[in-house]
Chain A
């Protein structure tokens, strides 16, 4: 199939950037979206045009590196899919496709479609860890954890930290990401010791990075490739109020 691409091109962080139009020719419907871009890039290189820079790593939907807004939706319109797992069979011959980077003040563009997501790293540094020495792996079941708690923690742990929630949120809020991390550790016994400190630290960092505030649009949940539910945001809010109430 043949497609028309409108791609955001930006030389570096200081460049103003603009949309460029490219033709994607003879695209196989079994290709992933990133493979399609590889083909386009080869074509561009042959024409002496600088290839399009985009982030990717595992290409199997588990690392959270790929980050493209396709036709106005982070990771494209398929639900529960990263853009590296989005296949070209979901497009039609002759389609026009807009490709843009994650847009948030806290995620500045580094080049073309690549943004700097170190804000997420700093949020994790502000409390997204357990700092007790846990030694080697426990015997199974030596720490009793209820099925419910284990399931909650597991659901939250599905977050791959890609930032699609921020890109999808009309307020560029990072609350789905932060709430998944806080909820995961708050559900498990190992996370109890630093529970309040973690909530306060991560939330203060999230605010300092300049993310917007959640107004319950629920775009994040719809865009999340791991389908993290917004109930975790409700849980994060409770965690925060709990920390305040405990005065820790």
Chain B
């Protein structure tokens, strides 16, 4: 760039589409991200019912299936948001890594956390996990033999499917590692989201990072408790089942 070349100066009437504006992209990341956080909380609350037992868990699964169109609307929405989040995440990553130009010989940042710097990588790892997770428990591509189990009431036996699924050590280990990536991603995502939409209460300023980490830890422990309980034999197959 020539330093002295006259550059166009925008005035407020310049209509640049929201999605091409830095702050627009940030807001898009924040809003789509917020929907995943809600999903993650809801999904966890659903999953935790496995601790109550087969009856409750299968009833819950049947309830979800019974939603019919609503379930599909939710799926399409979350999938669309997911695609948007990934697209802009990658676009921002390339824009940002190109903005420095010549790099420093010595650069000594003091605030940047490891989790914040690796959002793109934890994000891509999560993408891989989500593909596997859906293939496993929703599309039944992995272990298809457990897809059509039925319980005593003739419902889809989701309980047995999950328990058997996590009894495979590799599935559980992969799941636990993925939840680690989720926790990494969330610990930066949560405070970042509130900063971006400008909703951090002054009293919570400077505490937002700790809150983010705490939230990530709770979600991690919640999700991981299920494979751990199954591997430890605390949650097990019903007598006579399978």
Q: Which residue numbers of A lie inside 8 Å of B, CB to CB?
A: 6, 8, 13, 17, 19, 69, 71-73, 77, 98, 100, 103-106, 108-110, 116, 118, 122, 125-127, 168, 170-173, 175, 194, 196-201, 203-219, 221-222, 229-231, 233-238, 240-241, 243-244, 248
Residues A235 and B195 in contact, CB atoms below 8 Å apart:
no
B interface residues, tally (CB under 8 Å):
55
Residues B7 and A222 in contact, CB atoms below 8 Å apart:
no
Q: How far is the CB of B114 from chain A (nearest CB, A)?
A: 11
The answer to whether the Cβ of B200 comes within 8 Å of any Cβ in the partner chain is yes
Q: How far is the CA of A195 from the CA of B93 in the complex (A)?
A: 30
Partner of A122, one of B9, B96, B119: B9
Main secondary structure of the interface of A (DSSP, over half): mixed
The answer to whether the Cβ of B52 comes within 8 Å of any Cβ in the partner chain is no
CB-CB under 8 A for A126 and B188, given A170-B112, A212-B100: no
Partner of B108, one of A73, A196, A233: A73
15 contacts between A and B (CB under 8 A): A72-B106, A72-B109, A73-B110, A106-B99, A108-B1, A127-B12, A170-B96, A172-B96, A172-B99, A172-B101, A194-B12, A197-B11, A216-B116, A219-B111, A238-B198
The answer to whether the Cβ of B173 comes within 8 Å of any Cβ in the partner chain is no
Residues A215 and B111 in contact, CB atoms below 8 Å apart:
no
Q: Chain A residue with minimal CB distance to B14? A: A204
Residues B16 and A207 in contact, CB atoms below 8 Å apart:
yes
Q: Chain A residue with minimal CB distance to B3? A: A116
Residues A235 and B198 in contact, CB atoms below 8 Å apart:
yes
Q: How far is the CA of A197 from the CA of B11 in the complex (A)?
A: 7
- Residues 93-143 of B at the A interface (beta carbon under 8 Å): 95-113, 116-117, 119
Residues B23 and A236 in contact, CB atoms below 8 Å apart:
yes
The answer to whether the Cβ of B170 comes within 8 Å of any Cβ in the partner chain is no
Q: How far is the CA of A246 from the CA of B87 in the complex (A)?
A: 28
Q: How far is the CB of A86 from chain B (nearest CB, A)?
A: 15
Question: Residues of B contacting A196 with CB < 8 Å?
Answer: 12
Q: How far is the CA of A77 from the CA of B24 in the complex (A)?
A: 33
